[in-house]
């Protein structure tokens, strides 16, 4: 399996939780997680990098559902889902779901942020 680089929003409570789960699942250390809020060298504009999920796999820069699929392929328990996403109809379905998620993401971020502040 190849190494994958994932850029994430370290200021986002939702992203922090998700990345924490992925770090625990990445027992073989195949994923390099980079907090884009503090990264000095971003592969694209920082605002664009933070607006969607991005990853690099085999020298290919990926965004959205394709980036999630690359990350999943690096984690044995999620690998079958990542491999299924190599089929265009599956990836298209995942991308449509991701675009819908992006619409509710700000509300989830606010909700989680409020709950973190109380803790």
Domain count of the chain?
1
pTM for the structure as a whole = 0.90
pLDDT at position 76 is: 95
Residue 118 has pLDDT above 80, yes or no: no
pLDDT at position 40 is: 77
Pick from 69, 89, 87, 88: nearest CA to 79? 69
Transcribe 60-105 into DSSP letters.
Answer: EEEETHHHHHHHHHTSTTTHHHHHHTTSHHHHHHHHHHHHHHHHHH
Full residue range of the structural domain in which residue 9 is found: 4-118
What confidence category does residue 103 fall into, taking pLDDT thresholds of 50, 70 and 90? very high
What whole-number distance in Å separates Cα of residue 66 and Cα of residue 54?
8
């Amino acid at each position: 399996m190849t190494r994958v680089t994932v850029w994430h929003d370290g200021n986002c409570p939702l992203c922090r939780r998700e990345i924490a789960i992925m770090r625990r699942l990445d027992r073989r250390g195949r994923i390099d997680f980079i907090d884009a809020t503090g990264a000095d060298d971003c592969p694209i504009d920082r605002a664009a990098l933070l607006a969607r999920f991005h990853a690099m796999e085999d020298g290919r820069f990926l965004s959205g559902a394709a980036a999630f699929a690359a990350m999943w392929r690096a984690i044995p328990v999620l690998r079958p889902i990542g491999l299924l996403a190599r089929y265009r109809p599956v990836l298209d379905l995942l991308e449509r779901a991701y675009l819908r998620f992006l619409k509710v993401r700000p509300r989830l971020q606010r909700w989680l942020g409020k709950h973190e502040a109380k803790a």
